[in-house]
A = this chain, B = another copy of it.
């Protein structure tokens, strides 16, 4: 004989729990919440817990958010999920947010400020408690406004000019220095830089680091050997390299602003019958997946993606629990992964 069971189409609510436990919903609420549990008698608390358990009660986060104006949710603002840089970062973020009782809401902006604005608006209206932003440009009115209106956020990989915000990134200086030193050791003297967009802090930081590193290695930094890319993309990288080659400049190696830019170079090599590293050495930045299987395997600066995610989530949690805390930024050490795209010049 199967127990006759009333099927309710709607999920059990706090009322149901209270009724079952023979208490008022308010009491049930207090009993369920560890924070307020001391306010109710231990016995009744047990009763409530048991009742909740028995009917599989799950609090309704929507109702809770409405009342508390909190959501246990943070927003991740990402320029392009298609960029393999981000998934591991996201993973790291989720791995610290989840145990802390938070959920992450991922939005794509496609590098489009308009889209970014509406996406962020939608996040805010859903009461996200903070933002992790990977789309920062040096001039970023939106972020300025958000910061002024008290939105908690942390930046990843980027900074905004004149805005003191917690941020986490790889140590660009160190990374570029390693790349240049590596090439210098191989004997390269004329090294080009395909810089990332100079509207991004990362783009300028790496370009600056490149100049310094050249000097530190006793090489001359020829401005004609630095070309800026409009985006951090393959096609922009290819464009930039074509421009450089067409200019007639002489160079035997290039350090690219990131891996995608470096891979763009591969396309140009194929177009023009150049071979890497025999004709030109190239080193990337970021260590995206599958580089070891490229042709040739790309030498690059590896950064700890997952840890970047982890750290940024931690920073956000910190500022959530103590908004007054002085903004802390963390720099993570990169490392050089030498593969077959770099060799001594001919």
- Interface residues, chain A, with chain B CB atoms under 8 Å away: 11, 58-63, 65-66, 71, 81-82, 84, 87-88, 90-91, 94, 103, 105-106, 108, 121-122, 125-127, 263, 266, 289-290, 293-297
Contacts and interface: CB of A to CB of B under 8 A. Distances in A.
B81 A84 contact: no
A106 to B, nearest CB: 5
A91 B87 contact: no
A292 to B, nearest CB: 9
A105 B108 CA distance: 11
A17 B62 CA distance: 23
A290 B297 CA distance: 12
Which residue, of A59, A105, A263, has the highest number of chain B Cβ atoms within 10 A?
A105
Contacts of A126: 61-62
24 contacts: A58-B121, A58-B125, A59-B125, A61-B122, A62-B62, A62-B65, A62-B66, A62-B71, A62-B127, A66-B66, A81-B87, A81-B90, A81-B91, A82-B87, A82-B88, A84-B84, A90-B108, A106-B106, A263-B293, A293-B295, A294-B295, A295-B295, A295-B296, A295-B297
Given A62-B65, A62-B125, A263-B290, 16 more contacts: A59-B125, A62-B66, A62-B126, A62-B127, A81-B81, A81-B91, A82-B91, A90-B108, A103-B122, A105-B105, A266-B293, A290-B290, A290-B294, A294-B294, A295-B295, A295-B296
Contacts of A61: 122, 125-126
A65 B125 CA distance: 12
Contacts of A127: 62
Query: Which 10 pairs, one residue from A and one from B, show the smallest C-beta to C-beta distance?
Result: A295-B295, A82-B87, A81-B87, A106-B106, A293-B294, A62-B65, A62-B66, A266-B293, A66-B66, A61-B125
A104 to B, nearest CB: 9
Nearest to A298: B293
Contacts of A296: 295
Contacts of A63: 66
A181 B86 CA distance: 37
A297 B290 CA distance: 12
A126 to B, nearest CB: 6
A324 B189 CA distance: 70
Contacts of A87: 81-82, 87
Contact of A125 (B60, B66, B108, B263): B60
A342 to B, nearest CB: 16
A306 B296 CA distance: 29
A11 B126 CA distance: 12
